[in-house]
Amino acid sequence: MTSTLKGVTLKGSAELVADFFSFGINSILYQRGIYPPETFTKASHYDMSLHITTDAKLKNYLTNVVSQLKEWLFECTVQKLVLVITCLETNEVLERWQFDIECDKSAKESSAPREKSLKTIQDEIRSVIRQITATVTFLPLLETPCAFDLLVYTDKDLVVPEKWEESGPQIIDQSEEVRLRSFTTSIHKVDSMVAYKRTNSV
Amino acid sequence: MAEGGDVDWELSKENIQPLRRGRDISALRQALSQREEGPTSAINQQKQMFESELRTYDGDDPLSVWDRYIKWTEQTFPQGGKEGNLATLLERAVTRFTDEKMYHNDPRYVELWIKFAENCPEPLDTYRYMQAQGIGVRQASFYIAWSEEYENQGSYQKADHVYQEAFNNLAEPHDRLLQFHRALQARVSRQVFLKLENESSDEEPKQPERVSLADLKHRGKKKAIAPVNRTGTAIKNITRGLQSSGAPVLSNAANRQLVVFDENKAEAAGPSEATLESWLAPPPSKAKENEQKPGKWCDMKMPQKTKFGHSVMAPPPPKPTFQPFVEETDQPPTMTPCKINPAVNSVLSARKPSKEETPLKRLQEHHQQHKEAEAGKLQERSMYCKELLLSGATEFCFEELRAEHSFKKLAQGSQEEGGEGCHASAAAAAAAAAI
C-alpha cells in the first residue's frame, strides 16, 4: 500500500478514508450504546484499541456501505457522510454525526502521489477517533433504544445504486452543534461534527 | 476552524461530569475558559443574582428560581465538587418544598428529588421516602429512576415491581413508562438468556465423578464392605462435625441442588411491598464528617481555658498505664506550675456515631418544628426573616437583603415614571432610606 511509497495516491487515500469511516462508525455505535456492548470485540488499529462489531448483519451492512463509499471516494463524488441516531419508538432524530468530505478533484487527472506520510495521516485520524470517544462528556444520555442510519451526500448527477434510496437530511431542530477535529490525506479532507438536541436549561 | 475551543473541552474531559441531559457546549466552553476567581467574576455575579432572586422572588412559582439556579449550577461547574455547592442546593431546594402539596407532582420538583437521591449514599431510601410523602407518585420519571436503581443493584424483580406500582398509580406519561418497562424486560430477559446459555455449556461435562474425602455407604450387613461404584448414590449424605467445605462437595456429588435463599421468592411469599414505612425525614444525602452546622448556643459548653491558653477537656481521661519513655538528658519543662497532665491535650477519642449531625437529623428537626408550629406549640420564634437569610447556598446579611429590596423599588420606580429618571431615583432613594 501507500506506506512503501511515502506518498498518497488517490486509490490509497480512498482506502484510508473508507477505513476511517469503518472504524469511526463502529466506535460511535459502541460509544453511544446503539448496539449492546457484548456484541463488540476489541481490535487494535491506528495504534489504539477500537471496538469492532461482531454482529454478522451489522458487519455485512457496514462492509457494503464502506465499499460503496470507497468507490465514490475514488471517483471524488461524495460530499458528506452522516450518521443519524434516531429513537426507535418515536423516530425522532437525537444525534447527527456529520462528516464533510472535500475531495481534491485534480488528483483524478494526475496520478502522481502526494507528499504526506502515512504516519501523519494516521495520527490525525487517531485524534479524531479519540475526540469521538471524548464526546460522552457533553452528549446527553440516550435513554431509549435507538436505531441508526447512514446518509451519504453525493454529487447530483450520480446514479443511485441498487440498495440505496434517496432520503431527507434528517436535521435536528433546536440542535447544539460541536465541531470536532478534521484530518486530511491531502486528497480527501474530512471535517467532523456532531449535533445533538439542545438541553432545555437556562 | 475553532480549534482552540475544541481543545479546551477535550483537554479537561476527565474533569467534566457527564449529565443525563447533556451539556450546553457554549456554557461548557465558558466555564472552562473562565478560571478567574474573586467576587467580580461573571460566574460569581450570576450566582449572586440567583441568590438574591431566591430571596426577593414574590411570584407564585418560587420553585422556578430554584430550578433555574440548579440547572445553571450544573452547567457552570462541570467538575461538580464543592465550589458549585450542588449537593447543598439540592438538599435545600428539596427540603424547602416538602410541605408544598402543589409541587409534589411537578415534574421539575420530582427531577430535583431524583438528582438529590442520586447524590445520596442510599438512593433507595430516598425513593421510599418520596413514595411515603407522596412526592412524584404520579410522575413516570420517579418510577423510572427508582426502578433503574433497583436494576443497578441487581434486584430485577423489585425493579419490575416498581413499574407495576407505577401502572397502579396511573403515573404519567404512560407511553414513556411503557417504553422503559419494555426496555427493562428486554434487558432482563437477555440477561437470563445469557445466563442460561452459560449454564448449559457448564452442564455438559456432568459425568459422575468420584469425590475425594467423601463418606461412602457401605454394603453388607455384618461386615461393612466399600461399594465398587463410588459415585452418585453410593456417597453418604450425612454431614457431621465441622463441615464447612465438605458439605457443598457432598451435595454437589449427589447431584442435589443447594437450597439458596432467594429474596425475590421470599418477597412474593411475604407481605406485599406496598407497606409504607413511616419516614420522619428524608434519608441523609451523604455521610458528612467534620462539619458542624449552626445550632443552639444555650446548652453548648465552651471548653475551659487555663491561663496558659491550653483548652482542657471536661473529663480528663485516666493517666496512661504505661510509662512514657523520657530521655535522660531531657530537662523537664520548667514552666509547669499547674498540674496539667501533658497527655491530656492530645488525647483523641473516637467520634460517637450517635452524636453525629446528619442531614437526616437536620431535616427531621426541620420537619418536627414545622409540625409543632402548625400545632401552635412552638415556643421559639425568630423575629427576623431567618428563612430569607439562610435560604440559598450562601448566607446573606440584612444589609444585602435591604439593598435588594431597594434596588427592586428603584427599578420599579424608574419603570413607572419612565423618562423622569432624576425624579424617580430621588424618590427611590427616599424609599430606601425609609426601610
The domain segmentation of chain A, as residue ranges, is 10-164+173-197
Handedness of CA B71, B77, B78, B81 (dihedral sign): negative
- Measure in Å the smallest separation between the Cα of A90 and chain B Cα atoms: 10
Report which of residues B3 and A31 the model is more confident about: A31
Task: Count the neighbouring beta carbons within 10 Å of the beta carbon of residue B339.
Answer: 5
Nearest CA among A75, A41, A19, A61 for reference residue A150: A61
Mean pLDDT of chain A: 84
Q: Which residue of B has its CA nearest to A191?
A: B1
Contact between B74 and A131 using a beta-carbon 8 Å cutoff: no
pLDDT for position A75? 86
Q: Check residue B428 and give left, alpha or beta (phi > 0: left; psi -120 to 50: alpha).
A: alpha
**Which pLDDT does position B8 carry in this prediction?**
74
Contact residues, chain A, for B74 at CB < 8 Å = 201
- pLDDT (0 to 100) of residue A156: 77
Whether residue A179 and residue B6 make contact (CB cut-off 8 A), yes or no, is yes
Interface check B28 vs A, CB under 8 A: yes
Answer yes or no: is pLDDT of B423 > 50. no
Section B308-325 average pLDDT: 63
C-alpha cell at A96: 447527527
User: In A, which residues are within 8 Å of B24 by CB distance?
Assistant: 176, 198-199, 201-202
Query: Are residues B9 and A176, on separate chains, in Cβ contact within 8 Å?
Result: no
- pLDDT higher than threshold 60 for residue B206: no
pLDDT at residue B37, rounded to an integer = 60
* Higher pLDDT, residue A88 or B236: A88
Q: What pLDDT sits at residue A22?
A: 92
Q: Apex CA B261: angle with CA B255 and CA B266, to 5°?
A: 130
Bridging pattern class, strands A146-154 and B304-305: unpaired
ipTM: 0.75
Q: Degrees (nearest 5) of the Cα angle A65, A67, A69?
A: 65
B24 vs A144, A145, A201: nearest CB: A201
Average pLDDT over residues B345-356: 56
Chain B 137-196, residues with CB within 8 Å of chain A CB atoms = 179-180, 183, 186, 190, 194
Residue in the block written with cell 445520596: B120
Query: For residue range A154-163, what is the model confidence (pLDDT) as tens digits?
Result: 887 777 777 7
Residue B272 falls within a domain, yes or no?
Answer: no
Contacts of A93 (CB under 8 A, 6+ apart): A84, A85, A86, A170, A171, A172
pLDDT at A58: 92
Average pLDDT over every residue of B364-373: 66
Q: What does DSSP assign to residue B221?
A: S
C-alpha cell at A158: 450520480
The pLDDT-based confidence of B305 (bands split at 50, 70, 90) is low
Q: How far is CA B329 from CA B265, B325, B326, B332, B334, in A?
A: 73, 12, 9, 9, 14
| B147 domain residue, yes or no | yes
B19-44 mean pLDDT: 74
Alpha-carbon distance A74 to A122, whole Å?
19
- Check B19 against A179: CB less than 8 A apart: no
Q: Which of A136, A178, A202 sits opposite B72 (nearest CB)?
A: A202
Question: Could you tell me the pTM of the whole model?
Answer: 0.63
What is the per-residue pLDDT for A63?
92
Q: Is B303 within the bounds of a domain?
A: no
User: In the predicted model, what is the mean pLDDT of residues B225-250?
Assistant: 58
Contact B68/A at CB under 8 A? yes
Q: Does B42 touch chain A (CB under 8 A)?
A: no
Between chains, do B24 and A180 touch, taking CB under 8 Å as contact?
no
Q: Kindly state the percentage of chain B with pLDDT values over 90.
A: 0
- Cβ-defined contact of B9 to A137 (cutoff 8 Å): yes
Mean pLDDT score, A121-150: 87
Q: Are B115 and B141 in contact (CB under 8 A)?
A: no
> Measured between beta carbons, which residues in chain A are less than 8 angstroms from residue B2?
179
**Mean of pLDDT values over A145-151:** 88
Q: Is the CB of residue B6 less than 8 Å away from at least one CB of chain A? A: yes
Residue B432 has pLDDT above 50, yes or no: no
Q: Hey, is the C-beta of B18 within 8 angstroms of any chain A C-beta?
A: yes
Q: Confirm whether B25 is domain-assigned.
A: yes
Instruction: Decide which of 3.30.160.100, 3.30.900.10, 3.40.640.10, 1.10.357.10 is the CATH code for A10-164+173-197.
Output: 3.30.900.10
pLDDT at B255 over 70: no
A182 contacts B6? CB cut-off 8 A: no
Q: What is the pLDDT of residues A4-61, one digit of tens each?
A: 556 788 888 888 899 999 999 999 999 888 888 888 999 888 888 899 999 899 999 9
**Which pLDDT does position B431 carry in this prediction?**
44
pLDDT grade, residue B352 (50/70/90)? low
pLDDT, position A27: 92
Is residue B220 less than 8 Å (CB to CB) from chain A? no
User: Which range marks the domain in which residue B77 is found?
Assistant: 11-30+43-205+213-245+256-261
Q: Choose the closest CB to B28 out of A36, A138, A198.
A: A138
What pLDDT, on a 0 to 100 scale, did the predictor assign at position B272?
A: 41
Of chain B, the percentage scoring pLDDT greater than 70 comes to 57
The pLDDT of residue B270: 41
* For A193, nearest residue in chain B (alpha carbons): B6
Among A116-120, B95-99, B123-127, B379-383, the range scoring the smallest mean pLDDT is B379-383
**pLDDT confidence of A201, banded at 50, 70, 90?**
very low
Q: What is the dihedral of CA B187, B188, B190, B195, to 10 degrees?
A: 140
Instruction: Provide the pLDDT for residue B83.
Output: 72
Closest Cβ–Cβ partner in B16, B180, B194 for A138: B16
Region B10-22: mean pLDDT is: 80
Least confident of B7-16, B54-63, B415-424: B415-424
The alpha carbon of residue B71 is apart from the nearest alpha carbon of chain A, in Å, by 6
Polymer length of chain B:
435
Region B38-65 average pLDDT: 80
Does residue A171 register a pLDDT over 60? Answer: yes
Cβ contact, residue pair B24, A199, below 8 Å: yes
Total domains present in chain B: 1
Does B218 or B115 have the greater pLDDT score? B115
pLDDT at B434: 43
CB contacts of A196 in chain B (<8 Å) are 22
**Which residue in the block uniquely carries the three cell numbers 420522619?**
B280
Chain A interface mutation, best of B6, B7, B12, B13, highest count of A Cβ atoms under 10 Å: B13
CA terminus-to-terminus distance, chain B: 55
Cross-chain residue pair A137–B68, CB shorter than 8 Å: no
Residues of A in contact with B20 (CB under 8 A): 140-141, 143
Is residue B277 included in any domain, yes or no?
no
Checking if the pLDDT of B310 tops 70, the result is no
CB B21 within 8 A of CB A140: yes
Query: Does residue B400 belong to any structural domain of this protein?
Result: no
| Portion 114-173 of A in contact with B at CB < 8 A | 130-131, 134, 136-141, 143-145
* B251, pLDDT greater than 60: no
Q: How many angstroms separate the CA of residue B85 from the nearest CA in chain A?
A: 18
Mean pLDDT (whole number) for B274-279: 53
Measure the CA–CA gap between B392 and B69, rounded to whole angstroms.
10
* Alpha-helical regions (H) of A4-105: 10-31, 56-75
Give which of B317, B322, B307 is closest to B345, Cα–Cα.
B317
Which chain B positions have a beta carbon within 8 Å of A191's beta carbon? 1
> What pLDDT score does B277 carry?
55
Beta-carbon separation of A202 and B179 below 8 A: no
DSSP helix, strand, coil percent of chain A (3-state; round to 5): 35, 30, 35
Nearest to A145 among B16, B20, B183 (CB): B183
Q: What per-residue confidence (pLDDT) applies to A23? A: 92
- B379's grid cell: 415556643
CATH number at residue B143: 1.25.40.430
Average pLDDT, chain B: 71
* Cis bond upstream, residue B173 (ω within 30): yes
Residues of A within 8 A of B22 (CB-CB) are 138-141, 176, 196-197, 199
pLDDT, position A172: 82
For B120-146, how does the pLDDT look when each residue is reduced to its tens digit (9 = 90+)?
A: 778 888 888 888 888 888 888 889 999
Question: What is the model's pLDDT at position B315?
Answer: 57
A202 in B contact zone (CB under 8 Å) = yes
Nearest to A196 among B22, B74, B75 (CB): B22
Task: Pick from A39, A178, A197 the residue to mutate for testing the B interface (most B CBs within 10 Å).
Answer: A178
Residue B428 lies in a domain: no
Cβ separation B25–A140 shorter than 8 A: no
CA angle B13, B18, B19 (to 5 degrees): 150
Q: How far is B23 from chain A (nearest CA, A)?
A: 5
- Residue B184 is placed in which grid cell? 427493562
